[in-house]
């Protein structure tokens, strides 16, 4: 198990936003503090799974001292830990989608600093809620 630091932001008239300094492309939000924390606990494992499936390295968790100095910490309301278990193996799956849809998925994922696998895992999790 690893514990990654999540940074909570809240601007006036907005939801609670959560970012992860170890994973710059992984962000989420919730309308309440509890929802934002729950979303963070859901999205981070899926993001990591996507990175693993794409053969990307998984960083070691940064220290709180480093997180406090990270650019994401500016204006932070709080910091909390998200525990990621590494027991569930990652499997490769082949899917069939129209070419145009795959291109749109790839553009969206790239624009949001996600891998294709991480985006699809997040989209599937959100659809199954």
Please report, for the domain that includes residue 24, its CATH number: 3.30.160.250
C-alpha 28/C-alpha 63 separation (Å) is 21
Q: Give 69-112 pLDDT, tens digit per residue.
A: 999 899 899 999 999 876 556 677 889 999 999 999 999 888 87
Please give the tally of structural domains in the chain: 1
d(CA 99, CA 125): 23
Mean pLDDT of 6-17: 91
User: Could you tell me the two tokens for 70?
Assistant: 């990270």
Host domain of residue 26: 2-127
Helix (H, G, I), strand (E, B), or coil: what is residue 54? Answer: coil
CB atoms within 10 A of CB 126: 13
pTM of the entire predicted model? 0.67
């Amino acid at each position: 198990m690893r514990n990654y630091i999540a940074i909570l932001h809240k601007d006036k008239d907005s939801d609670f936003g959560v970012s992860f300094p170890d994973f710059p492309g992984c962000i989420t939000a919730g309308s309440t503090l509890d929802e934002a924390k729950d979303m963070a606990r859901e999205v981070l494992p899926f993001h990591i799974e996507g990175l693993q499936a794409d053969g990307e390295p998984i960083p070691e968790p940064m220290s709180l001292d480093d997180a406090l100095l990270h650019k994401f910490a500016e204006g932070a309301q709080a910091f909390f830990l998200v525990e990621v278990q590494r027991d569930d193996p990652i499997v490769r799956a082949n899917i069939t989608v129209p070419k145009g849809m795959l291109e749109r998925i790839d553009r969206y994922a790239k624009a949001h600093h996600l891998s294709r696998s991480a985006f699809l895992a997040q989209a599937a999790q959100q659809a199954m809620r």
